[in-house]
Amino acid sequence: MLKIGVLVSGSGTNLQSIIDSIKAGHIQGEIAIVISDKKSAFGLQRAISENIPSVFISKKQAGSIDNFNAEIIRALKSYSVDLVVLAGYLSILSKEFIQAYRNQIINIHPSLIPSFCGNGYYGLKVHEAAINHGVKVSGATVHFVDEGTDTGAIILQKTVEVLPLDSAETLQQKVLKLEHQLLPLAVKLFCEKKLNIIELENKPTKVLVLK
């Protein structure tokens, strides 16, 4: 059974979706540790209520971004984590972090990458951009994390219709429902070793989802 480390910065609803999926027997893995960069993150309370080890790691006390990421890596390694899940985690991962868990870090993003992603696109800003552009569909994407921002190989995507009267807030709630479906599914596929990473020279990395 694979061990999962989940990083959160906020309420942790995506964390909860993974917890619920594991409890339902859909995921052949266990959450070994939940880590947050925010002391007040409700995601930590969700972990505590499920008797999952939880840790707050302070950027300020770490002294530098490199030290901060190094502390997180140490915490993950101490629990022998096989998969790192970014579930609403807003801090930047260092190059060393990516190298330590190459092709073992997944993230959920509230748009159809490559639309409305990259630097500055997070939270409600993503949905505001989608509404302002007048798109007819939006959605969510689960992808592997690399050195770029939202540039890693795409694992899963799902769409939702954007209606004429939708606001950024209503679209956010629609997409969040998709996130709660996609992220546990991606974790399930990873734990079942059904994600085949294809790396070709001078071409983008792709993920083949095995059935």
* pLDDT tens, position by position, 42-86: 999 999 999 999 999 999 999 999 999 999 999 999 999 999 999
- 3-state class (DSSP) for residue 176: helix
Q: Quick one: average pLDDT of 138-159?
A: 96
For residue 138, the model assigns a pLDDT of 98
> What is the bridge-based pairing of β-strands 2-8 and 83-86?
parallel
Q: Give this prediction's pTM.
A: 0.95
C-alpha closest to that of 19 among 49, 39, 58: 49
Structure tokens at 186: 């991606």
Give first-to-last CA distance, the chain, whole Å. 19
* Mean residue pLDDT across the chain: 96
- Domains by residue range for the chain, with CATH: 1-101 (3.40.50.170), 107-211 (3.40.50.170)
Q: Please give the share of the chain, as a percent, with pLDDT higher than 70.
A: 100
* pLDDT tens, position by position, 111-127: 999 999 999 899 999 99
26 is catalytic: no
Residue 32 reports pLDDT greater than 80: yes
Q: Give me the catalytic one of 109, 127, 143, 180.
A: 109
User: What backbone phi and psi angles, to 5 degrees, belong to 200?
Assistant: -115, 145
